[in-house]
Amino acid sequence: ADFWFGRIKDSQLKDGLIDAKLWFYLIGAVMLQLNVLSFAAYHITHVENINDGFLLGCAMLTWFCFDYLIFEKIHLWTYDFIAERVGFKLGFGCLAFYPYFYSVSLWFTAHLPNPGHPVWRTILFGALFLCGWVLTRGANMQKYFFKVMPDRKFLWIKPEVLCDGKQCLLANGYWGASRHINYLGEIVQAIAVALAAGYAGIWLVWLYPAYYVGLMLTRQADDDKVCKAKYGELWDQYTKKVKYKIIPFIY
């Protein structure tokens, strides 16, 4: 178990100059981007009837990587950096699974031509991805500003908090809609990537969103246990106020 999950939560080298978790994730993001560029180059050079939807999928994952690199400071306040330890699971996940599995829909559609779908479908899938990104990035940004500048408004919304005198929980905005709405955003983005190429009938393109559904459901349960242990009755107050776990009005 120690080998798989690791023992150390905050592994740093060179007197804190290099953070092992951040290094793994950033290298994984760069590797994923190189794979995406390779798929795009293959498609453009080997397929006569170029699929705009496929290139849109490449653009989505490019934005996914770009966003991760630009907002790396924000990720220091996410589950990955707070709860996970440095072990084989993290190293393998970041350097092998993350760069190759996240682009699985590109693996199985790079050689296929334009399916002839109307332009509005491509626009719709792009809008779907944008909606997912707004949920994920917005929620994480709101949490970040609340942690570092508790009194600052986010998108003109004044923070509404639950406090017990020692700890406080953010309970409005994104975090008033559901307890883990950022997880919903990740799933929506993955669905958009799977749909973009226009070959929804190929079941292999759904591996990426299916993985995210499984990951986020288990992570939500684990996260709730951690929060319950950390905040106690304050967490109970929050769950009474914010009833939905991931999807507002549904789950």
Q: Which two tokens stand for residue 206?
A: 């759904």
Q: Report how far residue 139's alpha carbon sits from residue 143's, in angstroms, rounded to the nearest whole number.
A: 6
CA distances (Å), origin 231, targets 113, 171, 219, 225: 53, 14, 18, 10
Q: Report how far residue 223's alpha carbon sits from residue 216's, in angstroms, rounded to the nearest whole number.
A: 10
Answer yes or no: pTM beyond 0.75. yes
Position 166 scores a pLDDT of: 87
Position 74 scores a pLDDT of: 79
Residue 18, beta-bridge partner list: 13
- Mean pLDDT per block of 10 residues along the chain (251 residues) reads 65 68 88 97 96 97 94 75 74 89 96 94 96 96 90 88 90 95 96 96 96 92 91 94 95 91
Nearest to 179 by CA among 239, 137, 250: 239
- Rounded to 5°, angle at Cα 190 from 249 and 202: 115
Position 29 scores a pLDDT of: 93
**Three-state SS at 10:** coil
Position 155 scores a pLDDT of: 86
Q: Dihedral sign, CA of 56, 59, 65, 70?
A: negative
Contacts of residue 212, defined as CB under 8 A and 6 or more positions apart, other chains included, come to 186, 187, 190
Phi, psi of 75 (to 5 degrees): -70, -15
Core vs surface per residue 140-177: b (16+ CB within 10 A) or e: bbbbbbbeeeeeeebeeeebebbeeeeebbbbbbbbbb
